[in-house]
């Protein structure tokens, strides 16, 4: 989950590294560090526990010499606590060699014992330093960094991206990846490495994806990619479709505030080019009609917020394709020996495309013969490359750790997929397709209305609730996963107890949690097309209100039935039943952000979390 950046070229490497790390800090902010080889051929290193600004302040007070070769790292702690000693880079070979790492080296203990028996000592608790010391020993034997690096990575087990450089070979950075992300940025007389394209998009939009168990060597003159045995491999270049300004706050108080404001745009961009005269056409899925026609089961796999998007998508997929759909947590999927085969379509959802649990589940599905399709927001990511098909969301870079705009984009992509597959299978009438497309096209403007009409109101009562210690969320049908999403956002960034429940479960246990003053959000279905469910949810509201709960209802405009029983009503525009979640979730995102802000918390970088979970 750590952030990694590497650079060779004519620029001041420190500036390149620090700007790249600033865009990667969402991946981890327990510590940060850089190493550079300066003009005199000396290797300098600085690393500090804490957020990147701690390192910046240290460098400002005591600068390193300028250099044109460097590596940088921002850490999410796994092996060893967030201390200066455990921060990366790690040095070896008499401090002439620097190494940074993302992932977990599972056989580090036996390697450490081997090195200790040879007389090597260690200055940290990390698995990374073991790799660094091992590389230093191999370099001493071969005198060539690439040769030594190749020997080392073949001995490592687990998930890793490693970058290394050596004082005696300036102008060279080598990297390797196994089950962990690494992309290359291609420049003019300079080249870059990064955990994702945000690391270098300020300098180049030309990128190169490398595959599993591959090694890359970058110099100012070029890039060489080989497998772990040294054989050249074909690479997949692509152009980054957003620029560096998309990953900047642009005057907003936080990245999360900016990204909530971009939810309409995230939906609109995901729809763009895929709707034609009342029908859905997804160019990425051209030629796959036989695949969709041959499936009789769909399994959606994801984690966290993406799993809740999958739960919403299940309703549309079943309604429009008439194929049974299961939604499973990716980290549970492969461990229960699921029954899957060639007639199963496994749909994975991951904003980063690098979520380790989801990646391993996709690989497992393919090994069992299932067809795989990825919904992803990140070009060049691993999960799309491991899948048979891909539907990209176009939410743009999402920097805040708690996902907002990516969530609505994922639901949008699932709806597009459902409409596409429904048409291919003949399960969806032309009239139903036209109506669904009309509803989708209207969603961005309706989200804008929610933001314009409700945001100030929500932020105000979030401030009033700044000392709240527990919030419950209730929903039915597509409102249930939205209740789960609302609770997750509140847990992630405000650190208070929050739970989401299916409203029908209320009397089966959760109502015991309701006491006077308990805040409860209720996602109210429309009385126009869900009259029976609407009555049941209003009854739920009456039940919890009778026990002293403070009720905040998210209801469509014109729904007067909730007014006598709700303390606050947050209005969303009229929409079809399946499209309400894209609107109802927006007030919950605003509330979580508002409450965390009222508590004085960092909404972009909540404690203990990182954006991209690249370890199991």
- How many structural domains is the chain composed of? 2
Q: Tokens for 309?
A: 């998007």
pLDDT at 1 over 80: no
In a domain, 250, yes or no: no
204 vs 193: CA distance, rounded Å: 11
pLDDT of residue 616: 63
Q: Is 613 within a domain? A: no
| DSSP designation for 302 | E
pLDDT of residue 593: 97
Q: Report which DSSP code applies to 213.
A: T
Which residues lie closer than 8 Å to 587 by C-beta, 6 or more apart?
450, 454, 458, 554, 570, 572
pLDDT exceeds cutoff 90 at 297: yes
Count of CB atoms within 10 A of residue 144's CB? 14
Give yes or no: residues 491 and 579 share one domain.
yes
Q: Which residue shows structure tokens 């490592």?
A: 156
Rounded Cα distance between 82 and 505, Å, is 41
Q: Classify 555 in phi/psi space as left (phi over 0), alpha (psi -120 to 50) or beta.
A: beta
Decide which of 240, 270, 285 is a domain's last residue: 240
> Same domain, yes or no, for 194 and 290?
no
- Judgement on whether residues 164 and 232 belong to the same structural domain of the protein: yes
- Residue 52 is part of a domain; what is its CATH number? 3.60.20.10
Do 298 and 422 share a domain, yes or no?
A: yes
Residue 401 and residue 489 in one domain: yes
Instruction: Name residues whose C-beta falls within 8 Å of residue 590's C-beta, 6 or more positions apart in sequence.
Output: 260, 451, 454, 455, 458, 459, 462
Claim to verify: residue 229 and residue 277 sit in the same structural domain: no
H and E: helices and strands count for the chain:
17, 26
Structural domain harbouring 220: 3-240
Is there a domain that residue 606 lies in? Answer: no
**pTM of the complete model:** 0.87
Distance CA 307, CA 439 (A): 23
Question: DSSP assignment, residue 548?
Answer: T
- The phi-psi region of residue 335 (left if phi > 0; otherwise alpha if psi is between -120 and 50; otherwise beta) is alpha
Radius of gyration of the chain (CA): 25
Could you tell me if 527 and 591 lie in one domain? yes
Identify the DSSP state of 404.
Answer: S
| 235 close to 225: Cβ distance less than 8 angstroms | yes
Percentage of residues of the chain with pLDDT beyond 90: 83
- Cα torsion 564, 456, 394, 203 to 10°: value is -160
Identify which has the larger pLDDT, 511 or 277.
511
Same domain? 434 vs 507:
yes
pLDDT tens digits for 402-413?
999 999 999 999
End-to-end Cα separation, the chain, in angstroms: 10
553: CATH? 3.40.50.10490
Using the predicted structure, report yes or no on whether residue 264 has a pLDDT greater than 80: yes
| Catalytic residue list contains 2 | yes
Active-site residue (options: 314, 405, 599, 611): 611
Question: How confident is residue 236, by pLDDT bands cut at 50, 70 and 90?
Answer: confident
Q: Check: CB of residue 421 under 8 Å from CB of residue 323.
A: yes
Is residue 614 very low, low, confident or very high in pLDDT (cuts 50, 70, 90)? low
Which of the residues 2, 96, 363, 371 is marked catalytic?
A: 2
Q: Do you find a cis peptide bond into 458, omega within 30 degrees of 0?
A: no
197 and 262 in one domain? no
Query: Is 381 part of any domain?
Result: yes
| Same domain, residue pair 278 and 414 | yes
CB 338 within 8 A of CB 446: no
Q: Are residues 273 and 218 in the same domain?
A: no
The pLDDT of residue 27: 85
Q: Is residue 248 assigned to a domain?
A: no
């Amino acid at each position: 989950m750590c952030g990694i950046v590497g650079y060779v070229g004519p620029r001041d490497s420190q500036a390149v590294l620090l700007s790249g790390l600033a865009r990667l800090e969402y991946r981890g902010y327990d510590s940060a560090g850089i190493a550079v080889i300066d003009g005199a051929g000396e290797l300098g290193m600085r690393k500090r526990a804490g957020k990147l600004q701690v390192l910046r302040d240290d460098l400002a007070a005591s600068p390193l010499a300028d250099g044109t070769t460097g590596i940088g790292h921002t850490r999410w702690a796994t092996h060893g606590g967030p201390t200066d000693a455990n921060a990366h880079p790690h040095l070896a070979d008499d401090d002439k060699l620097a190494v940074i790492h993302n992932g977990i080296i599972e056989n580090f203990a036996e390697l450490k014992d081997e090195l200790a028996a040879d007389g090597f000592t260690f200055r940290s608790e990390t698995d990374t330093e073991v790799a660094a010391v091992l590389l230093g020993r191999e370099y001493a034997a071969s005198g060539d960094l690439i040769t030594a690096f190749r020997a080392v990575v073949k001995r490592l087990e687990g998930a890793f991206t490693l970058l290394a450089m050596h004082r005696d070979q300036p102008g060279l950075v080598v990297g390797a990846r196994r089950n962990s992300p690494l992309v290359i940025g291609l420049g003019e007389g300079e080249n870059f490495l990064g955990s994702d394209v945000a690391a270098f998009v300020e300098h180049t939009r030309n990128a190169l994806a490398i595959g599993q168990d591959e090694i890359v060597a970058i110099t100012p003159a070029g890039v060489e990619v080989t497998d772990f045995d040294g054989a050249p491999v074909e690479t997949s270049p692509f152009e980054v479709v957003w620029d560096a300004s998309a990953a900047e706050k642009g005057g907003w108080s936080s990245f999360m505030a900016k990204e909530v404001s971009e939810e309409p745009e995230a939906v609109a961009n995901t729809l763009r080019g895929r709707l034609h005269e009342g029908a859905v056409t997804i160019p990425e899925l051209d030629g796959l009609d036989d695949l969709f026609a041959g499936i009789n089961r769909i399994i959606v796999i994801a984690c966290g917020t993406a799993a809740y998007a999958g739960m919403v998508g299940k309703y549309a997929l079943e309604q429009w394709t008439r194929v049974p759909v299961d939604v499973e947590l990716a980290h549970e999927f492969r461990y229960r020996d699921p029954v899957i085969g060639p007639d199963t379509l496994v749909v994975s959802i991951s904003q980063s495309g690098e979520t380790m649990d989801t990646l391993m589940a996709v690989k497992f599905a393919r090994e069992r013969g299932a067809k795989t399709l990825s919904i992803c927001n990140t070009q060049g990511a691993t999960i799309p490359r491991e899948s048979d098909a891909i539907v990209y969301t176009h939410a743009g870079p999402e920097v805040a750790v708690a996902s907002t705009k990516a969530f609505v984009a994922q639901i949008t992509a699932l709806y597009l997929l459902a409409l596409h597959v429904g048409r291919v299978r003949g399960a969806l009438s032309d009239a139903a397709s036209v109506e669904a497309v009309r509803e989708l096209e209207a969603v961005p403007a309706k989200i804008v209305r929610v933001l314009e009409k409700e945001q100030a109101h929500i932020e105000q009562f979030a401030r009033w609730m700044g000392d709240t210690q527990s919030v419950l969320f209730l929903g039915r049908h597509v409102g249930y996963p939205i209740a789960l999403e609302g609770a997750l956002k509140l847990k992630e960034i405000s650190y208070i107890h929050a739970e989401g429940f299916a409203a029908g479960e209320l009397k089966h246990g959760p109502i015991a949690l309701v006491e006077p003053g308990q805040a409860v959000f209720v996602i109210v279905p429309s009385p126009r097309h869900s009259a029976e469910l609407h009555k049941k949810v209003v009854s739920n509201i009456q039940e919890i209100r009778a026990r002293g709960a403070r009720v905040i209802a998210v209801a469509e405009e014109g729904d007067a039935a909730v007014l006598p029983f709700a303390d606050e009503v947050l209005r969303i525009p009229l929409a079809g039943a399946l499209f309400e979640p894209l609107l109802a979730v927006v007030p919950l995102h605003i509330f979580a952000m508002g409450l965390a802000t009222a508590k004085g918390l960092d909404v972009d970088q909540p404690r203990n979390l990182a954006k991209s979970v690249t370890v199991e």
